Structure 1
Amino acid sequence: MHDSQGFVGSKGYTTLKTPSQNKGLGFTDAERETLGLRGLLPPATLTLEDQVELTMQELRRKTSALDKYVFLQSLQDVNATLYYAVLSRHTYECMPFVYTPVVGEACQKFSQIYRHTPQGLYLSLNDRGKLRSILDNWPVEDIRAIVFTDGERILGLGDQGIDGMGIPVGKLALYTACAGVHPSHCLPVALDVGTNNEAKLNDPFYIGLKRRRLTGEAYDAFVAEFMEAAVDKYGKSVMLQFEDFGNNNAFRLLHHWQEKVCCFNDDIQGTAAVALAGILGSTAITGTVVNDHRFLFLGAGEAGAGIAELIAYAIQVETGKSIEECRKQIFMLDSNGLVCKSRLGELQHHKINFAHDAEHVPDLLSAVKALKPTALIGVSTLAKSFNQAVIEEMSANNERPIIFALSNPTSKAECTPEEAYRWSDGAAVFASGSPFGPVEFKGKTYVPGQGNNAYIFPGVGLAAFACGATRITDLDMYIAAKALAATIPQDQLDASCVYPPLRDIREVSLKVAVAIAANKYATGQASVLPKPADLEAHIRSVMYTPRY
């Protein structure tokens, strides 16, 4: 068949242009003959291992982080198997260029680097009433995991509109690299409801709708149309992951949908589970169990409230106390100082549970002095807010203070590991949200743990996929955190690290998935029946390994 320019489609040419089928120089002689590839490729053959090595050499030659991001995305568009092989075998090295911290810059510049290849679905307000039929335009019928965003609160960078699509794309790449969820079962989605970002609205090259954000009932109806369309198309066990929704919508949408469909919010629940895992893991270093801690949060948004609620839930499970009692061990600071009862009239709904009968103090140092917390958790995106005075005060009150500076990207971290170790004289048990290298201090090597959601959400997705989960609950997140904490090897603990090495991420994800899937069967929320006799073997058998 000819097009108007005389182009004739051939089987071999189409194969090379289809990322899921293309092997580049990995095609064997026999395949080249059968598929009509002769002449379309140079004669040499390279194994997948050779191609991975060559790709890594090229990646390392690139000097800018964004260039590395674009290079990897371009590889995904050309040869998907090779892309996932690179990610799976060099996860620690590649993850920063697929997800945090570089994905932040990629989202800010997404319209400029957009490469015209469909990486997912873009559903805009112009499509209202047609979302179900638009899902049919995606070429794969069997979708098990959808990550979707409306782009309102991308990392610590705020409203990026449709340019926030970089987040679902990156998250689902990690589903595959870190947990072996087959990429063909994954679908990134951007819900374009407009943007309030003036720079985007005034950018002639912005690829989204140039209008202010939709709000209120019409917004909820658009999200509902998408959720219902997804479940209608893909079934009740399709897992829907909310990603980077603004505070005003994130909690409300999660509470509305979590009892109706299989969904979770990674910013609220995934962040919470990975932070709780760090707290549980720190017991081996500090000797203090979760229910004996006194927590102080800097930042009271989605991440802070999510972590605080899951910690309270964990204390309740461990002690049997009421959730109200458990929350009394957890304090929060927002931009107006300590969240407390005297401020009840002005607080957003998600802060009210942590408004205790305490005297109001205006700043972090005053709060540390007044409350004497054992654990300080930063989710504020206020760089350098854990200053020397704050960390010295934490160290004066605690033999091994827990200092978690979890804000992303790196530029937003409350302190660096080097600062935490130096100002605490090596006593701090430190974790961050973005990656930092090991720190030498007074003859000892410290390994800062990265409280990376990639330790949790890929395992959640793998569990949901393997057992056909119909719901994701707070109990699942607590179970995931416990399973993650149980994987920390002794040499990491010896280096004051409360997370396992990222190089072990696939085995870690497997352990997390097994623990969650066991709970899904125990609570009747699994649809793959009967329950496999050997759950771990079953889950391992569905994990995708990139190979030709």
Structure 2
Amino acid sequence: MESTLKGIRGSDAPCVLDLDDAATVAGGVEDTYGEDRATEEQLVTPWTVSVASGYNLLRDPRYNKGLAFTERERETHYLRGLLPPAIVSQELQERKIMNNIRQYQLPLQRYMALMDLQEGNERLFYKLLIDNVEELLPIVYTPTVGEACQKYGSIFSRPQGLYISLKEKGKILEVLKNWPERSIQVIVVTDGERILGLGDLGCQGWDSCGNFLTLPGRSSSICLLGKLSLYTALGGVRPSACLPITLDVGTNNEELLNDEFYIGLRQRRATGQEYTDFLQEFMTAVKQNYGEKVLIQFEDFANHNAFDLLARYGTTHLVFNDDIQGTASVVLAGLIAAQTLLGGSLADHTYLFLGAGEAGTGIAELIALEISRQTKAPIEECRKKIWLVDSKGLIVSTRKESLQHFKKPWAHEHKPLSNLLDAVNAIKPTVLIGTSGKGQTFTKDVVEAISSFNERPIILALSNPTSQSECTAEQAYTWSKGQAVFATGSPFDPVEYNGKIHVPGQANNAYIFPGFGLGVVMSGAIRVHDDMLLAASEALAQQVTEENFEKGLIYPPFSNIRKISAHIAASVAAKAYELGLASRRPRPKDLVKYAESCMYSPIYRNYR
């Protein structure tokens, strides 16, 4: 059976992808588009897939191989004269591209080179990222993502996602049907209101896979680019199954509203019932068009909407918020691993957070859930081990009436304290966690204070980008006299203190969300349950080896990330089956091997 994607030549001279060879190379199962499938049901027998030939083939990033086309392929598929005569392997292409990327001095230049590659040769881009993940992850994700948002400006480029504005109200289902891919497994959606530390960027609040969406002199989040690239590279979800969506409900950014080049709706943000109705239509249309098993990841929504959306749709849709749940899961994994390093259990600790937004309260709640699961104590009791400091000081019961609803569970009995240092001295935490988004807030006095009553304090400075980290690795190790078990949100170099090399861990969400997404997809889960997040945390913690612990690490190296993602996916899927939330039957006997077999492979396919 053959499926034809017509190009300039139509179907008279198609380029045929040999799937038998592809399956042999990848060791996995194939979908109807000739890519490794991530557990989509086999609707047709994909003996071959036809794509455009000639010039059009070289302009199709999904099928283009550049100089790797063989003599036979060049002859059969009308490529003679369109390529130089040299024939090179994918491995040689990879070495050449990496050599070129390393010549650039600025991370942003490397980022732009990678995006150019993704737009021209998708498989080579992902092979490059998979094989060089430790070197390239800081380029395509944290911290260069933040630097790109702050510094990079360009004209509107080729869109690769969907834009759904209030103008499409009543027609959202029709808009979704305009997207050419039908087999969507992961949607990452934003309304652009809370982009990193940059605030409301409206319709400029995202950049889809391989696409710059910025304006001269303006900054824009490229978070969706990083998210979707990593779903594929680290989690193995095929690129064509990922869909980025911007919901344009206006912007309150006066500078954008007055900018003649602004590409979004020129109106203030919709709120209240208008916003609620728009989101309801969107969520209903997604389920109607793609089914109940599509994972919808909310990205960069403001606090007041992020928690409400999770609560509203968590029981009716397969939804996930990486800022709240992904961050919480990866931090919990580090804390679980730290217990192996230090001894004891999570319940033995007292936790103090600087920052009480999506990340802080999300982490706090998952820690409390895990302590409750381990000790069988009520969740309310477990929350009393966790204290939060926001911009107004320690969150205490006397402030409860004025607090946002997501902060109220953390308002404990205590006298008011106005700053972090006073809170550290009063609460005497064993774990200090920063999610404030403000750099240099873990001062020397704060680190010395927590180190004075802890033999080995756990200090997590999680805010991104690097400039916003609550403290640097060098500061943490120096001020704690080498005592701290330390991890950050952005990468830092190893630090030598008193003749010992300390290697800071990175509590990067990229450890969790790609594997979590694969686990949800491969099990056919219809809902996300907190226990699935706990399972992901425990699976990640189990990947930390004795060798890692000897260096002070509480996270494994990213060089093994695909293996790590497979284990996380298997644990998430197992929990989905256990909870009765998995729809894909029968359950595979070996979930780890099944996860590995489902992963997208970037190896070139043979054409005939």
TM range (shorter): over 0.9
Instruction: Specify every segment of 5 or more residues in structure 1 that has no aligned partner in the other structure, as ranges.
Output: 4-8
Q: AA paired with 1:542? A: C
- Which residue does the alignment assign to 2:18? none
Residues 402-436 of structure 1 show CA distances to partners (whole Å, capped at 9, x for unaligned) of 10000011111000011000000000011101111
- Which residue does the alignment assign to 2:248? 192
| Aligned partner of residue 180 in structure 1, secondary structure | coil
- Which residue does the alignment assign to 2:182? 141
How far 1:442 sits from its partner (Å)?
1.2
Instruction: Specify every segment of 5 or more residues in structure 2 that has no aligned partner in the other structure, as ranges.
Output: 1-5, 9-13, 15-51, 207-221
C-alpha separation in 1, matches of 2:260 and 2:127: 37
2:112 to 64, 70, 79: 70
C-alpha separation in 1, matches of 2:598 and 2:57: 26
Work out whether 1:444 is the aligned partner of 2:485. Answer: no
- Which residue does the alignment assign to 1:323? 379
Q: After alignment, is 87-96 or 306-315 more displaced?
A: 87-96
Q: Contact 2:7/2:53 (CA < 8 Å) preserved in 1? A: no
C-alpha separation in 1, matches of 2:147 and 2:154: 11
C-alpha separation in 2, matches of 1:508 and 1:208: 39
| Aligned partner of residue 556 in structure 2, secondary structure | coil
C-alpha separation in 2, matches of 1:105 and 1:468: 37
| Aligned partner of residue 123 in structure 1, secondary structure | strand
How far 1:114 sits from its partner (Å)?
5.0
Q: After alignment, is 10-19 or 423-432 more displaced?
A: 10-19
- Which residue does the alignment assign to 1:289? 345
C-alpha separation in 2, matches of 1:254 and 1:508: 27
Residues 488-514 of structure 1 show CA distances to partners (whole Å, capped at 9, x for unaligned) of 111221111110001111111111100
Q: Contact 1:378/1:406 (CA < 8 Å) preserved in 2? A: yes
1:171 to 227, 231, 236: 227
- Which residue does the alignment assign to 1:83? 125
How far 1:346 sits from its partner (Å)?
1.0
5 Å-filtered alignment, 1:123-134, equals 123-134=164-175
**Scaled by the length of structure 2, what TM-score is found?**
0.87
Work out whether 1:389 is the aligned partner of 2:445. Answer: yes
Q: AA paired with 2:464? A: N
Q: Contact 1:108/1:160 (CA < 8 Å) preserved in 2? A: no
Residues 254-291 of structure 1 show CA distances to partners (whole Å, capped at 9, x for unaligned) of 01011111111100000000010111011122213111
Q: Contact 1:295/1:329 (CA < 8 Å) preserved in 2? A: yes
Moved over 6 A (4+): none
Work out whether 1:488 is the aligned partner of 2:529. Answer: no
Work out whether 1:358 is the aligned partner of 2:418. Answer: no
How far 1:2 sits from its partner (Å)?
13
- Which residue does the alignment assign to 1:261? 317
Q: After alignment, is 177-186 or 119-128 more displaced?
A: 119-128
5 Å-filtered alignment, 1:106-505, equals 106-108=148-150, 112-114=153-155, 116-165=157-206, 166-505=222-561
Q: Contact 1:341/1:355 (CA < 8 Å) preserved in 2? A: yes
Return the structure number with greater helix share. 1
C-alpha separation in 2, matches of 1:120 and 1:84: 19
Q: Contact 2:519/2:572 (CA < 8 Å) preserved in 1? A: yes
| Aligned partner of residue 191 in structure 1, secondary structure | strand
- Which residue does the alignment assign to 1:94? 136
C-alpha separation in 1, matches of 2:198 and 2:489: 15
| Aligned partner of residue 361 in structure 1, secondary structure | coil
- Which residue does the alignment assign to 1:6? none
**Scaled by the length of structure 1, what TM-score is found?**
0.96
Q: AA paired with 1:132? A: L
- Which residue does the alignment assign to 2:212? none
How far 1:351 sits from its partner (Å)?
0.6
Q: Contact 1:104/1:157 (CA < 8 Å) preserved in 2? A: no
Residues 74-114 of structure 1 show CA distances to partners (whole Å, capped at 9, x for unaligned) of 2111111111111111111111221111222333467x335
How far 1:169 sits from its partner (Å)?
2.0
Q: Contact 1:293/1:373 (CA < 8 Å) preserved in 2? A: yes
Q: Contact 1:153/1:245 (CA < 8 Å) preserved in 2? A: yes
How far 1:51 sits from its partner (Å)?
1.1
How far 1:446 sits from its partner (Å)?
1.0
Q: AA paired with 2:365? A: E
Q: Contact 2:338/2:554 (CA < 8 Å) preserved in 1? A: yes
C-alpha separation in 1, matches of 2:255 and 2:563: 43
C-alpha separation in 2, matches of 1:49 and 1:352: 55
Change (3 A) 1:519 1:334: same
Q: AA paired with 1:34? A: T
How far 1:398 sits from its partner (Å)?
0.4
Residues 470-504 of structure 1 show CA distances to partners (whole Å, capped at 9, x for unaligned) of 11111111111011111011122111111000111
C-alpha separation in 2, matches of 1:351 and 1:245: 17
C-alpha separation in 1, matches of 2:118 and 2:401: 50
Q: Contact 1:77/1:117 (CA < 8 Å) preserved in 2? A: no
Residues 137-176 of structure 1 show CA distances to partners (whole Å, capped at 9, x for unaligned) of 2221101011111111122332222222121221010011
C-alpha separation in 2, matches of 1:160 and 1:399: 44
Instruction: Output the aligned Cα RMSD.
Output: 1.7
Q: After alignment, is 398-407 or 22-31 more displaced?
A: 22-31
